[in-house]
Structure 1
Amino acid sequence: MRIQEIIEGKKEWRAHVARVKALPKDYQIVYKEIQKYLFKVGPVELTNGIGLLSGIIDLFEEGAFLGKGVLEVTGSDVAAFCDDLIKDSKTYADIYQESVDKKVNEAIKKVTIKTK
């Protein structure tokens, strides 16, 4: 990664954080929880920029503008809201599960071959 790309990434992140801080307090709280959730669940796209997170801010800005409460936008089950956002995305959990399945299958094949 070039220095210029790092600088641009930092500028983009600072602008992103400023948008979050401009949201009403209830939206900020829910956004931060969504961000934590997504970082733990690990959709692979999050490592390639902040597109998904910016889309959430767009949605939140629109909801706040319309005078809606944040849970009117996300629904009362915020984790389900997040899961729905990433339902078609590959996550690090998926990659880990595939890795575990592969290792188990390889181990079973080795045991099967030895017992024959």
Structure 2
Amino acid sequence: MSIQDIVEGKKQWRAHLARVKALPPDYQIVYKEMQKYLFKVGPIDLPDGPLLPGIVDFFEEGAAAGKGVLELIGTDVAAFCDDLVKDSRTYADVYQESINRESGTAEQ
């Protein structure tokens, strides 16, 4: 990864955060909670993938339509996030695979 890639990545992240800050306060709170949750259990490609910008797009559309954030996602934020990443490879999957490999090696 070159310096240019790092600089470009930072620019994109700052633009993303500016979009989040432009959301209504209730949307910002829920987005931040979703972000924390997804960084713990989410897909491996979360920082570079389309998931977080897609959530902001979805929230922008909901806010423009005058809907509350909980009308869009429901009251269980974690369940909503789990549904978003259900088919994605996560860090938990990688960890489980490494444990399985280690236990398989130890048994031989």
State the match for 2:80 in structure 1. 81
- Matches of residues 83-102 of structure 1 in structure 2 within 5 Å? 83-102=82-101
Output the TM-score relative to the length of structure 1.
Answer: 0.88
Output the TM-score relative to the length of structure 2.
Answer: 0.94
State the match for 2:24 in structure 1. 24
> Take 1:38 and 1:100, find their aligned partners in 2: how far apart are those partners?
22
> Take 1:59 and 1:6, find their aligned partners in 2: how far apart are those partners?
27
Work out the percentage of aligned pairs sharing the same amino acid: 69
State the match for 1:113 in structure 2. none
Off by >3 Å, runs of 4+ in structure 1: none
Specify every segment of 5 or more residues in structure 1 that has no aligned partner in the other structure, as ranges. 110-116
The total of aligned residue pairs comes to: 108
Specify every segment of 5 or more residues in structure 2 that has no aligned partner in the other structure, as ranges. none
Is the CA contact 2:20–2:56 (under 8 Å) kept in the aligned structure 1?
Answer: yes
State the match for 2:53 in structure 1. 54
Q: Aligned-pair RMSD on alpha carbons?
A: 1.1
State the match for 1:6 in structure 2. 6
Bigger helix fraction? 1
